[in-house]
Structure 1
Amino acid sequence: MIHLPVLITDLGLILAAAGVTTLIFKRIKQPLVLGYILAGLLVGPHIKFIPTVTDKESVNIWAEIGVIFLLFSLGLEFSFKKLVKVGGSASITAIVEVVFMLLIGFAAGKLMGWSTMDSIFLGGILSVSSTTIIIRAFEELGVKHKKFAGLVFGVLIVEDLVAILLLVLLSTLAVSQQFAGTEMLISILKLCFFLVLWFIGGIFLIPSFLKATKKLMNDETMLVVSIALCLIMVLLAVKVGFSPALGAFIMGSILAETTQAERIEHLTKSVKDLFAAIFFVSVGMLIDPRVLVDYAGPIVIITIATVLGKFLSSGFGALISGQPLKTSVQTGLSLAQIGEFSFIIATLGLSLKVTSEFLYPIAVAVSAITTFTTPYLIKASEPFYLFIERSLPKKWIEGLNRYSSSTAGITTLSDWKVFLRAYTFNTIIHSVILIALVFLGSKYLQPFIATHLINGNTGTVVSLLLTLIIMTPFLWALALRRMERKAYSNLWLNKKYTRGPLVALEALRITLAVFFVGFLIFQFYNTLVSMAIALALILSVMFIFSRKLQAFYNRLESRFLYNLNAREAQNTQPEILPWDTHLAELSVAPESKLVGQTLSELAVREKYGVNIALIERGKIMIPTPGRDERLYPHDKILVIGTDDQLAIVKELFEGALDETANADFPKKDMTLQKIVINSQSPVFGESIRNSGIRDLTQGLVVGIERHGQRILNPDSNFVFENEDIVWIVGNNKKVPDLLKKT
């Protein structure tokens, strides 16, 4: 008898349970994540009346793969450039929310008598909102076009990065079992170092690789390559002491900057959905219903703390960032839940065995409750704002409006700010690159040359020289490269400022470059003479070959910037955000009445008060389209207006159909039918054009068989004869009525 491995039977049980529960949750219009958790509860060890999973270790491996692909897909939606573009409002809102929720979670845990580590992890669990749940709720409620939705998406982008930072910090804290400031600082610096290094290296190499192999990349190859890149970065992350989830997230965010991002996201979606389902089922397997009953009180307390805390903290953060009261209230109520990142943080505490077993099921229960409440809170946000507006004193409302208007003004940067910002970025980026090259040369290149090529002192010298040659362009950029020449000239010639700070900054740059050269040489030799000779040599080379180094570095920089901006250049969209208006992207549905009309015929500005800023048609961008431009199916239109104006226009673009008008001809009635013509048929002796088949039956003649000869797509002048076999695509109810009459 053949015996299946336990892993396969467990996987079949998991997916069967997940399939049934998700069908039910789809039917009752609830998030599928909750269905997966319920499936895990059913097949877990705590419920005995149905078959249960037996090999938990294998399921945990599948779940870890699920976390990797879940974070990879989040990275594909993240993009570092999106983080830069979300602006100060989203960043301030997210930071205020995270800090407040960390404190609220910690305080709630301590008040309930929990341990310090449980309380810290509870704060981390409550600090991050659910991207998946919010996006789904926005789609179902049709509010993605509203102004607050853009702010919420920006907050979620910042929270994703903060959550990654929390994973690193909580891992460090769990290992050390104490709040060691030095270790925390080292962890943060280490994370920042590798984030910058991986981002620079990834943007320089991966888009170039994808472009070079574009002709070889069909869907299958692209899927395999994308997953391979994800797992390679996972290995690198683990190698330097980070979690696999961080590596997956970083690779996703790097690929998000490429022109193939949408294609990769589409191809990997099924893989992500499968393994994410297994992860969420494994989450449900760890829930003990008795724990939920025993800790019903803490669950209620934490749920209330989550909803109120997130509403107040994110709403307050939005207010102080300069958002109007209405947007702040809507943002606060939209973010009032926890989700997938909270599960990952809870899993981390459990796997490191630093948190109590009850914390995990409590976090899942709170997530389930807040997931159910999220759509209702979003729906109630506008009425609640109107209630607040009526309740608050008029002077307060006017003061908030003045504050919001004042922060929306255009700000200009002084020459000093422009100059210092450019020099800071230049110093940080090239310092990271040089440190990485020093360690690569001393830890990997030198041992490789000594082992496989040249041994002894000669091998060491060769390794040192090769490393120095590779470092030279970046040393030149750090020490001698000129940036923001206009701002520098203004500062140098301005009599109000002394030239001392500028000279000091230049001296600092050169000193840093000398330090990195000395640091490299110290890895190979520790004699002062050799260090002095090498320093003099490298500085001489930098000055003598300055122009060639500049040309070479400019080529490297151009390649990097081209890769970085390629996707943006492909999808350029202007940013116009005056007063209470905002941009929204709408798609022209094929059934919309707008299809085929010119903008002058539509007159959306005159009728609805909105303006069309851009039309995206495939890869074609039409900014500020003219009055004679027509709309076509699937055009993406960038429209500017208020929430109320966009809500009206949105219905026109979506093209809601009159269902009763189409009820008599459902799609399923269109079939391919075979009809045999006889001398009594109404169409006998008639041509296809004159037979009336197209007009009366909504049918189309696609083939005729006569005396064994087959004619595909016959001419409209073809005349029907006795015993012709006619193939027709049409309404299966109307075609027989016409052709079978005798």
Structure 2
Amino acid sequence: MQEDFRLIVDLVSVLAAAAAGGLLAALCRQPVLLGYLVGGMVVGPAGLGLIKELIQVETLAQFGVAFLLFALGVEFSLAELKKVQLISLGGGGLQIALTILGTALVSVGFGWVSSPPQGVFLGAILSLSSTAVVLKCLMERGETETPHGQVMLGILVVQDLALGLMLAVLPALEQPAETIGVAVITALIRIGLFAAGAVAAGIWLIPPLLRLLARTESKELFLLGVIALCLGIALLTEHLGLSIEMGAFVAGLMISEVEYADQTLTYVEPLRDIFATLFFASIGMLIDPFFLWQNLELILQLVLLVFVGKFAIVTPLVKIFRYPWKTALIAGLGLAQIGEFSFVLASEGQAMGLVSRRVYLLILGTTAVTLVLTPFVMRLVPKLLELSWVRAILEDRDVAIAVAEKLPQENHIVICGYGRVGRNLVRLVQEHGYPLVVIEQSESRIQQLREAGVAYVYGNAASLHVLETAGVDRAQSLAITLPDPMSTRLCLKRALELSPELDLVVRADRDKDIEILYQLGAREVVQPEFEASLELATHLLIGMGLSPNNMQKEMQEIRDRHYLDLRPERSPDDVTRELQLATQDMNSRWYAMPVESPLIGMTLEEADMRYLTGVSLMAIRRADGTEVDYPDAQTILAKGDRLLIVGEAEEMAAFDELAKGDTTIPADNNPCHWLIVSDDSPAIDRSLAELDIRRLYSVQIQAIRRDGKFMRFPDGSMQLQPGDRLLLCGSSSALNQLQPLISPGNTCKFIPAVSIIKAIESEVLKEYVPIDSLRE
């Protein structure tokens, strides 16, 4: 076969194998990345041996990483990099140094290597994590803009920069100390000169060049110019002793500050995806399954050592830089692998005699296994964080880092997140003179709030303690503008635990999150793209002569229908599949309704299960097999139903008691009210059995909130303490008689539990902040 035709056959074979592997992985509901690796393994030299031109395929696969990092640079931007510059430079640098130092000490101490330079070399290999794999996982989950995504990408950027320094120092490792010093200084000078040149080009060269290309109005010419720019800078960095990938990333950063960044990203994304697939398949071709099997025990030990070691280094470092425990844990687990650039170092080290062939293959096998496991680890992290004991540990430690001197005490607005939407929302609320508090966990944004004189709480908005510090239990309204879907759901649920009557509006970045957020208790869910569509349509149709009042009414009806008119039509199976995937990240279970349950025959509005037990109902599976996804308030519970519920273990236990009839459901005319046990209450230090409130006052204690813990249907042995918040249900006259015992001197307004869901027709936030102003 002709040599040039052989390369074409090899490329087609790799892409076909990757496509088949990715399809199989998707059908098995596994990360498609795993399918690409397995596909490469099957057609590679250790598999069927279909690929003959391995070097040429690997060379083309380098384009995949280059385009991945180029796209990352375009999306990341210098402004985004600046937000995490401390953890990037400080944390990333410390992580590399500690990994190298720890690996060198352990490897020399246990005799794994014969000299300290070899230990340093091994540490350099282990210090690098996989930019390509982590970035792919974050993009698939839509988490590149989240705090943990920004932290991981910032550290990865520093690791990629360090690769050039490592390659420069590598030949001098066996030389005297002064030779190593010269190599380091030379490499730093090269990096500094390149950085200065990149900044200058980004200011004076790149913008006019892109404007010239855009002026031609030729998509092909614009794409060709961008690709030539990206690969040209990548080749320049390779010539300077850095990596091609780092040059591509810097090229993306330079373009990110130009007005054509979005257009560039749109054009490059298809090429990025194809070449990235080729790259992951080429990694699979390097994996020798027979060698892995023969050394399986040793490789698994090394994999465990890498995961535990890097997790133990990264997690404390992120926490030291004042990030929440959740961010630290996700970053620690997400970076606990060996990166694809380690292949480059390992190959250079073997050529220079720093490692033997067997050690090289062990490094290769360990790296491959960690890359395969990383997507699974990233998918398991949300489930791990949802475990009750993990959440209890995190909540005990996840407190407010800093608080403004003066916080509003009641009837204020809490805004979670101070990104672009959060800033606009703060400005609009301030213009109307309403008191507000912003919860944010970025140090740079907290500094902006300090300078603007806005009350703030520095911490994780999904933490119960942070929400309590912001006074959510005394607030009038709360708006959630967080970029992370999981944090958004947690923040929503915990805010409603503190204040079930809270007027709560949430931004949903993805349309598939809209119904989930409504089911969890949001009063209003805003989707920026749909809101933009509504405003554009309103302007155009009013211009055609339609009545503004009628148009506003029509658009509001679309909002009331949760944007169903604008969402793409999906089959019931697709909706069910999306619901199951969404609830995987939450603590959920299917609950079979007891045959004699008092809830049977009641509507969801009448049962009011979220208010009384804390659980959220996501779906109902009827006895005949039909499924009702995202049921509305008028859905009637029937015999034989199985309910998909989401909630904490104690909330599910409380719902079980409610469904079995072990606790009573307040009558329609019975109000429920949260009442705080005051310091002068005569009920302090007395047990519920001793107080016998249910018999003496015909009032039931549905729940107690104490020290951030939510206890449903407490038993008689529990003693009341100052500051306890009691959810009391009974007649208005009975509650008025009970109030002097619980909270002397305070007056209360009672709200019927059944009307909580539909109360306050004109929501407070809508009165002074138009929902359409929340658009990006």
Q: Structure 1 length normalisation: TM-score? A: 0.52
User: Corresponding residue for 1:332?
Assistant: 332
> CA contact under 8 A between 1:125 and 1:346: conserved in structure 2?
yes
CA distance in 1, matches of 2:335, 2:66: 24
> CA contact under 8 A between 1:106 and 1:122: conserved in structure 2?
yes
Cα distance change of structure 1 residues 342 and 238 upon mapping to structure 2, 3 Å threshold:
closer
1:535-554 matches, cutoff 5 A: none
Q: 1:365 aligns with which of 362, 366, 369?
A: 369
User: Corresponding residue for 2:426?
Assistant: none
2:383 equivalent to 1:383? no
Any idea what the Cα deviations from partners look like across 1:565-595, whole Å, max 9, x if unmatched? Answer: xxxxxxxxx998744337424457779989x
2:71 equivalent to 1:156? no
CA distance in 2, matches of 1:342, 1:85: 28
> CA contact under 8 A between 1:591 and 1:655: conserved in structure 2?
no
Note the aligned Cα RMSD (angstroms).
Answer: 4.8
User: Corresponding residue for 2:660?
Assistant: none
User: Corresponding residue for 2:718?
Assistant: none
Counterpart of 2:482 in 1: which secondary structure?
strand
> CA contact under 8 A between 1:577 and 1:583: conserved in structure 2?
no
1:277-296 matches, cutoff 5 A: 277-296=277-296
Residue 78 of structure 1 aligns to which amino acid in structure 2?
F
Residue 62 of structure 1 aligns to which amino acid in structure 2?
L
Cα distance change of structure 1 residues 101 and 41 upon mapping to structure 2, 3 Å threshold:
same
Residue 402 of structure 2 aligns to which amino acid in structure 1?
S
Could you tell me how far 1:365 is from its partner in structure 2? 1.9
Any idea what the Cα deviations from partners look like across 1:131-176, whole Å, max 9, x if unmatched? Answer: 5545665677x7849xxx7221222232232122221122112232
> CA contact under 8 A between 2:73 and 2:251: conserved in structure 1?
yes
Any idea what the Cα deviations from partners look like across 1:112-140, whole Å, max 9, x if unmatched? Answer: 61355664444334334445545665677
Residue 228 of structure 2 aligns to which amino acid in structure 1?
A
2:409 equivalent to 1:405? no
1:445-524 matches, cutoff 5 A: none
Counterpart of 1:617 in 2: which secondary structure?
helix
Count of matched residue positions in the alignment of Structure 1 and Structure 2:
461
Could you tell me how far 1:94 is from its partner in structure 2? 3.9
> CA contact under 8 A between 1:74 and 1:249: conserved in structure 2?
yes
User: Corresponding residue for 2:68?
Assistant: 70
* Structure 2: runs of 5+ lacking an equivalent: 407-453, 462-479, 484-506, 537-551, 568-584, 587-609, 611-615, 630-776
CA distance in 1, matches of 2:68, 2:566: 29
Residue 23 of structure 1 aligns to which amino acid in structure 2?
L
CA distance in 2, matches of 1:4, 1:190: 37
Q: 2:52 aligns with which of 29, 51, 54?
A: 54
CA distance in 2, matches of 1:126, 1:591: 38
Residue 71 of structure 1 aligns to which amino acid in structure 2?
L
Residue 405 of structure 1 aligns to which amino acid in structure 2?
A
User: Corresponding residue for 1:81?
Assistant: 79
> CA contact under 8 A between 1:96 and 1:314: conserved in structure 2?
no
User: Corresponding residue for 2:112?
Assistant: 113
CA distance in 1, matches of 2:367, 2:6: 30
User: Corresponding residue for 1:196?
Assistant: 196
Could you tell me how far 1:231 is from its partner in structure 2? 1.9
Residue 198 of structure 1 aligns to which amino acid in structure 2?
A
CA distance in 2, matches of 1:82, 1:126: 27
> CA contact under 8 A between 1:36 and 1:284: conserved in structure 2?
yes
1:642-657 matches, cutoff 5 A: none
Counterpart of 1:301 in 2: which secondary structure?
helix
Any idea what the Cα deviations from partners look like across 1:239-261, whole Å, max 9, x if unmatched? Answer: 43433223222112212222222
State which drifts further: 254-263 or 609-618: 609-618
> CA contact under 8 A between 1:346 and 1:363: conserved in structure 2?
no
> CA contact under 8 A between 1:329 and 1:385: conserved in structure 2?
no
Could you tell me how far 1:277 is from its partner in structure 2? 2.4
> CA contact under 8 A between 1:307 and 1:370: conserved in structure 2?
no
Counterpart of 1:5 in 2: which secondary structure?
helix
CA distance in 1, matches of 2:318, 2:219: 42
Any idea what the Cα deviations from partners look like across 1:259-303, whole Å, max 9, x if unmatched? Answer: 222222222222222222222222222222333234334422332
The answer to which structure, 1 or 2, has the higher relative contact order (CA under 8 A, 6+ apart) is 1
1:401-440 matches, cutoff 5 A: 401=399, 404-405=401-402
CA distance in 2, matches of 1:619, 1:98: 49
User: Corresponding residue for 2:167?
Assistant: 171
- Higher relative helix content: 1
Residue 158 of structure 1 aligns to which amino acid in structure 2?
G
* Structure 1: runs of 5+ lacking an equivalent: 411-573, 595-601, 622-626, 636-642, 663-742
Residue 580 of structure 1 aligns to which amino acid in structure 2?
N
Could you tell me how far 1:191 is from its partner in structure 2? 0.3
Could you tell me how far 1:229 is from its partner in structure 2? 0.7
User: Corresponding residue for 1:617?
Assistant: 532
> CA contact under 8 A between 2:21 and 2:39: conserved in structure 1?
yes
User: Corresponding residue for 1:580?
Assistant: 460
Cα distance change of structure 1 residues 76 and 360 upon mapping to structure 2, 3 Å threshold:
farther
Could you tell me how far 1:52 is from its partner in structure 2? 1.9
CA distance in 2, matches of 1:350, 1:32: 32
User: Corresponding residue for 2:737?
Assistant: none
Residue 113 of structure 2 aligns to which amino acid in structure 1?
W
Residue 532 of structure 2 aligns to which amino acid in structure 1?
R
Cα distance change of structure 1 residues 300 and 3 upon mapping to structure 2, 3 Å threshold:
closer
CA distance in 2, matches of 1:615, 1:193: 46
State which drifts further: 95-104 or 221-230: 95-104
> CA contact under 8 A between 2:229 and 2:251: conserved in structure 1?
yes
Counterpart of 1:79 in 2: which secondary structure?
helix
> CA contact under 8 A between 1:124 and 1:166: conserved in structure 2?
no
Could you tell me how far 1:312 is from its partner in structure 2? 2.6
Could you tell me how far 1:661 is from its partner in structure 2? 8.2
Decide which structure has the larger Cα Rg and report it.
1
Counterpart of 2:205 in 1: which secondary structure?
helix
> CA contact under 8 A between 1:66 and 1:272: conserved in structure 2?
yes
2:31 equivalent to 1:16? no
Residue 60 of structure 1 aligns to which amino acid in structure 2?
E
Residue 255 of structure 1 aligns to which amino acid in structure 2?
I
Residue 113 of structure 1 aligns to which amino acid in structure 2?
W
Residue 81 of structure 2 aligns to which amino acid in structure 1?
L
User: Corresponding residue for 1:101?
Assistant: 99
User: Corresponding residue for 1:699?
Assistant: none
Q: Structure 2 length normalisation: TM-score? A: 0.50
Counterpart of 2:148 in 1: which secondary structure?
helix
